[in-house]
Amino acid sequence: MTLTAPAAAPPAQTRRPPVRRPVRPLRVLLHVFLTLVALGWLLPLVLAVYASLRPYEETARLGYVSLPEHLTLDYYAQAWTQAELPRYYLNTLIIVLPAVVVTLLLASFTAFAIARLRIPGRRTLLIVFTAGNLLPPQVLITPLYTLYTMVPLPSWLSDSQSLYDSYLGLILVHVAFQFGFCVFVMANFMRTIPEEINEAALVDGAGVWKRYWRLTLPLCRPVLAALSTLQFTWMYNDFLWALVLMSSGDKLPVTSALNNLRGQFFTDYNLLAAGSMLVALPTLIVFQLLHKQFVAGLTLGATKG
Amino acid sequence: MAVKTRRYSARDVTILVIGLGVAIAVNVSVIWGPTLASIGLSGTGWNGIGPIEWIGGQNYHDLAAEYPPFWSAVRNNVLWLGFLGLVATPFGLFCAVLLDRRLRMSRFYQSALYMPVVLSLAVVGFIAQLVYSSDYGVLNAVTGLNVDWLGDRAINIWVVMIAAGWRHVGYVMIIYLAGLKAVDPALKEAAAIDGANERQAFFRVVFPTLRPVNVIVLVITVIEALRAFDIVYAINKGRNGLELLSVLVTENIVGEASRIGFGSAIAVILLVISMGFIVAYLSQMFREER
C-alpha cells in the first residue's frame, strides 16, 4: 500500500537564521490552529480509551460524553481471557515474523542483483515488481483464492491440507505482496553505496554471495530497520488476506479475529473499544519506540534531492 | 558477455538463478498470474466448480445493466477518490507546510497527526462506530441530533470517508514534510529577498520543486481510494450505501454465492483503472533514471 521514489540524501545544509523575524500574533494563531488540529486528531483515540474503561451500563445511561462514576479495566481482562486474545496474538506472530524476515531477505537479494550486478533485464524486473506492489489486492484475489484451494499441502504443514486456510498461505501472500515495495526501496538505497567497495571486493575475488551478505547487507542496516518496522505494521494490520484466505476462526491473526469475535464475545461497544485498543496497542508501541524508523520507512527517499 | 563470464563463477550463477528464480516465481504465481487469470475468468460464467464456460462480455453487460450495487459502488469509489484527493490530501499538505518551520511542540503536532497511520483500517472502522453510532455515539450526544450516521444511505459514505481521511491526512503530511525538508532553504530565501510573500514563495518556488513528491502522493491517494475496503467491511460489510468495488469482488468469493467469473469482471475494472495510474507513475519514475 505504499511506494516511494528513489532514495537520495537531503542536502546537508546548516540552517541559516530566518531572513525576517516572524510576526508574533501570527505565530500564536499558528499554534492555536495546530493545537486544535492535533487535539481533534487525538480525540477519537482518547474517546475509545475512555469508553473502554467504563461499564457499558454507565455510558448507556449517561452517554459517552459524561463524567465517569466507575473506571475499570474489566473490559480489558474480559477481552483478554474470554475472547482468548493471546491465541490470536500468537497467530499473528506465527504469520508476521517469518513473513517480514523472508520478505526482507528475498527483497534485499533481488535488490542487490538489480542494483549492483549487471544482470540482463534488470530494469524490466524492477518495473514489474514495483507495479505488482501497487495493484489493489482485489484485482487478483479471486483467482488466488481458487488457486489456494487447489494447492495441496502435507498435513504436518497445514491441517486443512491445502494452501487455503493455512499459515503458510498467508505468509506467502504477504511476502509476495510486500516484496515489490521492499525491492524498490532497497535497490534505490544500494545505488547510493559507492561502487568502489564492490570493485575492491571483486579484486579480492569475492563471490556474489559474499558481496551481498558480508558487504552490502551490513551497509543497509538503516533501510532494513525502517522497512522491518513498516512491514511489521502493515502485515500486522492486514485484514483482507486473512478474511479471504482463512476459514478457521481459531487460526485468524488478531486484526481479523477482532471482526470475527464481534457479536460472539464483543457484545457491546465498550468491550469492542477495549478489544480494538488491545489490537491497536502493539502498533502504537512500535510506533512510539521506533518512531524514527517508522517515519523513515514511510518517507524513504520520498525526496528526490 | 566476455566481462560477465570473467566476473561470475559457476557458483555465482547458481546463487543468482536460485535467488532471482524464487523471487520471480513467487511474484508470478501469487501476483501477476492471478491478475492475468482475473482477466481470463472475467469472460466466463464459472462458479468455482464444474466446467468453465466462455460467455464473452456477458458478465460486463450484467454488471452494468442488471446489478444495481455496481453503480453505487462506482459512485462511492469516485466520491472516495474525490474526498481523499480534494480534501484530505490538500489538508495534509497544508499541515506539512505549517509544520515545516522551527516550532515549539512540532513533534507533538506531528505525532498526533500521524498516530492514526499506524492503526489498522479495521480498527479505524471500529472507532468510527463509537463516534457515529446512532444511539450511543458521541456525535449525536454532543450535537443533540438524532441522526443515524452509519445507517442512513444518504450520509453514511461521507461519514466513513471522514474516518478514512483521518488516517490519510497524516500519511500525506509525513511524505510532504520529508519533501519540504529536502527543499534547498536558499530557494525560499532568494524568493523572500525578491519580495515574494510566503504564499507566493510557496506556490511559485517551493511547490514546483516538489513535483516528484506530488506524483507519489497522487498515486498513493488513487491507490488508497481503489483499495478502500477494511473500514466499510468492519462497519457493515459494505452494504446499505457503503458499497465499494473492492467489497463487491470480495463478496463474490467470501459469501455463499461463489461467482468467480462475475467477481473477476469487477476485478478487471479495478485493474484497468489502477493500471492507468501505475503506468503513468512508473514511466515518470523511470524516465528520469534513463
Q: List chain B domain ranges.
A: 2-41, 68-287
Q: Which of residues 71-90 of B touch A (CB under 8 A)?
A: none
Q: B237 at the A interface (CB within 8 A)?
A: no
Residue A149 has pLDDT above 70, yes or no: yes
Least confident of A71-80, A166-175, A291-300, B232-241: A291-300
Share of chain A above pLDDT 70, in %: 89
The predicted pLDDT at position A303 comes to: 39
pLDDT at A9 > cutoff 70 = no
Cα–Cα distance between B65 and B85 in angstroms, integer?
Answer: 29
Could A136 and B246 be called an inter-chain contact, meaning their C-beta atoms sit closer than 8 Å?
yes
The pLDDT confidence band at residue A234, using thresholds 50, 70 and 90, is very high
A292 has a pLDDT exceeding 60: yes
Set out the domains of chain A in order of their start, with CATH numbers.
Answer: 24-75 (no CATH), 77-299 (1.10.3720.10)
Q: Which of A37, A42, A302 sits opposite B95 (nearest CB)?
A: A37
What's the rounded mean pLDDT across residues B83-89? 96
Determine, for residues B216 and A3 on separate chains, whether the beta-carbon distance falls below 8 Å.
Answer: yes
Q: How far apart are CA A101 and CA A179, in angstroms?
A: 11
What confidence tier does B144 reach under pLDDT thresholds 50, 70, 90?
confident
- Are residues B103 and B274 in contact, defined by beta-carbon separation less than 8 angstroms? no
pLDDT at B3: 45
How many C-beta atoms surround the C-beta of residue B5 within 10 A? Answer: 9
User: Looking at residues B77-103, what average pLDDT do you find?
Assistant: 93
Is pLDDT above 70 for A4? Answer: no
Highest mean pLDDT among B73-82, B182-191, B275-284: B73-82
Mean pLDDT value of segment B161-183: 91
Strand, coil or helix: B191: helix
What's the pLDDT score for residue B255?
65
Report whether pLDDT(B6) > 70: no
- Quick check: helix, strand or coil at residue B197? coil
- Confidence tier at A182 by pLDDT (50, 70, 90): very high
Degrees (nearest 5) of the Cα angle A111, B283, A228? 35
Handedness of CA B79, B81, B83, B86 (dihedral sign): negative
Cβ distance A19 to B193 less than 8 Å, yes or no, reads: yes
Q: For residue B290, give the 3-state DSSP assignment.
A: coil
**What is the value of ipTM here, to two decimals?**
0.89
Taking domain B68-287, whether its CATH number is 1.10.510.10 is answered by no
- Write a three-state SS string for chain A: CCCCCCCCCCCCCCCCCCCCCCCHHHHHHHHHHHHHHHHHHHHHHHHHHHHHCCCHHHHHHHCCCCCCCCCCCHHHHHHHHCCCHHHHHHHHHHHHHHHHHHHHHHHHHHHHHHHHCCCCCHHHHHHHHHHHHHCCCHHHHHHHHHHHHHCECCCCCCCCCECCCCHHHHHHHHHHHHHHHHHHHHHHHHHCCCHHHHHHHHHCCCCHHHHHHHHHHHHCHHHHHHHHHHHHHHHHHCCHHHHHHCCCHHHCCHHHHHHHHECCCECCHHHHHHHHHHHHHHHHHHHHHCHHHHHHHHHCCCCCC
Amino acid identity for residue B284 in this structure: Q
Question: Once rounded to an integer, what is the mean pLDDT over residues A219-235?
Answer: 92
State yes or no: pLDDT of A18 exceeds 90.
no
B residues 28-57 lying closer than 8 A (beta carbon) to A: 29-35, 37-38, 41, 48
**Pairwise CB contact (< 8 Å): B41 & A175:** no
Mean pLDDT within B116-143: 84
Residues A105-127 have pLDDT tens digits of 999 999 999 998 888 888 899 99
Alpha carbon distance A58, A69 (integer Å): 8
Find which of A1-5, A11-15, A148-152 is predicted with most confidence, using mean pLDDT: A148-152
Quick check: B76 and B160 in contact, CB under 8 A? no
State the average pLDDT for chain B: 87
- pLDDT greater than 50 at residue A1: no
Look at the block and give the residue holding cell 492503526: B119
Predicted pLDDT of residue B5:
43
The confidence score (pLDDT) of residue A304 equals: 34
Can you give B37-106 as a three-state secondary structure string?
HHHHHCCECCCCCCCCCECCCHHHHHHHHHCHHHHHHHHHHHHHHHHHHHHHHHHHHHHHHHHCCCCCCH
Best B41, B130, B233, B281 residue to mutate vs chain A (most A CBs within 10 Å) = B130
Which of A21, A33, A49, A135 has the highest number of chain B CBs within 10 A, making it the mutation to test binding with B? A135
Average pLDDT for residues B180-198, to the nearest whole number?
A: 85
Identify the bridge partners of residue A159 per DSSP, sorted by sequence position: none
C-alpha distances (whole Å) from B17 to each of B6, B24, B219 are 17, 10, 33
The residues in B 211-230 lying below 8 A from A, measured between CB atoms, are: 212-213, 215-216, 219-220, 223-224, 226-227, 229-230
Nearest CA to CA, how far is B85 from chain A (Å)?
16
Residues 263-292 of A with CB under 8 A from B: 269, 272-273, 275-276, 279-280, 283-284, 286-287, 291
What pLDDT shows up at residue A31? Answer: 92
Given an 8 Å threshold on Cβ–Cβ distance, is A209 in contact with B289? no
Q: What is the DSSP letter of B183?
A: S
* Tens digits of residue pLDDT in B23-65: 999 999 999 999 999 999 999 988 877 788 888 888 999 989 9
Greater model confidence, B5 or A286 = A286
Q: Is the dihedral of CA A159, A165, A166, A167 positive or negative?
A: negative
User: Residue A287: its chain B contacts at CB < 8 A?
Assistant: 115, 118
Instruction: Tell me the nearest-neighbour CA distance from B232 into chain A, angstroms.
Output: 12
Tell me the whole-structure pTM to 2 decimals: 0.88
Q: Is the pLDDT of residue B19 over 70?
A: yes
Mean pLDDT of B6-25: 88
Q: Does A105 touch chain B (CB under 8 A)?
A: no
Q: In the predicted model, is pLDDT for residue A54 greater than 70?
A: yes
pLDDT of residue B43: 92
Half-sphere exposure at residue B17, Cβ-oriented, CA atoms within 13 angstroms? 7
Nearest residue of A to residue B171, measured between CA atoms: A298
The pLDDT value given to residue A19 = 55
Q: Is A135's CB within 8 Å of B129's CB? A: no
- Å between B109 CA and nearest CA of chain A: 5
Confidence band of A5 (pLDDT split at 50, 70, 90): very low
Q: Tell me the pLDDT of chain A averaged across its residues.
A: 85
Residue A255, sorted as left (phi over 0), alpha (psi -120 to 50) or beta, turns out to be alpha
Best of A26, A142, A234, A288 to disrupt the B interface (most B CBs within 10 Å) is A142
> How many Cα atoms within 13 Å fall on the side-chain side of residue A109?
20
Between A266 and B236, the higher pLDDT residue? B236
